[in-house]
């Protein structure tokens, strides 16, 4: 009932199946697959089997590698040739991920996507459609963490919002002088992921300073601004209903070892 007209919720799930008729424990586990649950305003929810996860994730990794060099290729070969080269890898992803869905969703003007696993890393807006256009040229694309996001109305929450919160230019190696090994300790939910010293992103402190008066004008109250050693995770987690949250920082991915099976988004 909360879905907008001419929209579809595309809820994708990655799972590892079980063969309950297997004669041994070793044969019970089936390769991971992706399925999509499609929900529209009217009609039953449809289930589309997208197929084995391994082939999709290889194609996604190849496309992301092409994307990482796209800017350099534009400078070297010009935009038309760079787009042509990139389009090949995007079409390989679209063939596996998008094309099985198109018969069910191509008439919907708005796609509300809730991906899973490595499908969060897919540049959905840039996937080619069957007619030569890119997905963003034919559809409005929205992302949600869960279908429940459509039901929750932030304007009707039973809580008065507090002042805007700004965290900027954090010190990633806080107290490294007191703890010499701090820059080499694990900083992830997955064990064994060690990072070196992380440089700050230039300009984030200036960004916070420039945004503060605009946020005050918007909210009618001065924002709470935390920078440098004061910009800590504990400040963010303890915040109660800030009207606006601004995180002026940056993220990073570690290479994914071929023999590991953990969620790449944790790297």
Note the pLDDT tens digit of each residue in 94-135: 999 999 999 999 999 999 999 998 899 899 999 999 888 999
CA dist 100 and 102 (Å) reads 6
Amino acid 184: pLDDT: 41
- Rounded Cα distance, 12 and 143, in Å: 12
How many angstroms separate the CA atoms of 246 and 140, rounded? 25
How high is the mean pLDDT of the chain? 84
| pLDDT for 167 beyond 80 | yes
- Region 6-18: mean pLDDT is 92
- Cβ burial, residue 36 (10 Å; 0-12/13-18/19+): buried
Which DSSP state fits 100? Answer: T
pLDDT mean over 211-221: 94
156-183: average pLDDT: 71
**Around Cβ 31, how many Cβ atoms within 10 Å?**
11
Q: What is the CA radius of gyration of the chain?
A: 22
In this prediction, residue 182 carries a pLDDT of 37
Span 48-106, pLDDT tens digits: 999 999 999 999 999 988 888 888 888 888 888 888 888 999 999 999 999 999 999 99
Q: Say what the pTM is.
A: 0.62
Tell me: pLDDT of 219 over 90.
yes
Looking up tokens 């002088």 gives 177
Contact 32, 54 (CB under 8 A): yes
- Is residue 196 very low, low, confident or very high in pLDDT (cuts 50, 70, 90)? low
């Amino acid at each position: 009932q909360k879905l907008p007209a001419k929209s579809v919720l595309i809820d994708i799930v990655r799972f590892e199946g079980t063969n309950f008729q297997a004669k041994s424990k070793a044969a019970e586990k089936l390769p991971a697959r992706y399925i999509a649950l499609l929900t529209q305003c009217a009609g039953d929810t449809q289930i589309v089997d997208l197929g084995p996860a391994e082939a999709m994730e290889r194609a996604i990794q190849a496309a992301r590698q092409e994307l990482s060099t796209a800017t350099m290729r534009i400078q070297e070969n010009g935009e038309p040739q760079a787009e042509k080269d990139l389009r090949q890898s995007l079409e390989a992803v679209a063939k596996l991920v998008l094309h099985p869905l198109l018969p069910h969703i191509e008439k919907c003007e708005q796609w509300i996507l809730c991906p899973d696993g490595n499908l969060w890393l897919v540049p959905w807006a840039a996937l080619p459609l069957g007619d030569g256009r890119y997905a963003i040229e034919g559809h409005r694309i929205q992302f949600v963490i869960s279908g429940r996001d459509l039901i929750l109305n932030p304007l009707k929450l039973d809580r008065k919002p507090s002042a805007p919160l700004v965290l900027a230019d954090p010190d990633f190696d806080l107290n490294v002088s007191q703890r010499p090994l701090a820059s080499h300790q694990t900083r992830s939910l997955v064990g064994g992921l060690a990072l070196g010293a992380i440089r700050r992103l230039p300009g984030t402190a200036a960004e916070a300073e420039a945004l503060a008066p605009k946020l005050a004008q918007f909210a009618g109250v001065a924002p709470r601004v935390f920078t440098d050693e004061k910009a800590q995770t504990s400040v963010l987690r303890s915040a109660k209903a800030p009207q606006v949250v601004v995180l002026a920082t940056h993220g990073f991915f570690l290479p994914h070892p071929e023999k590991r099976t953990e969620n790449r988004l944790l790297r």
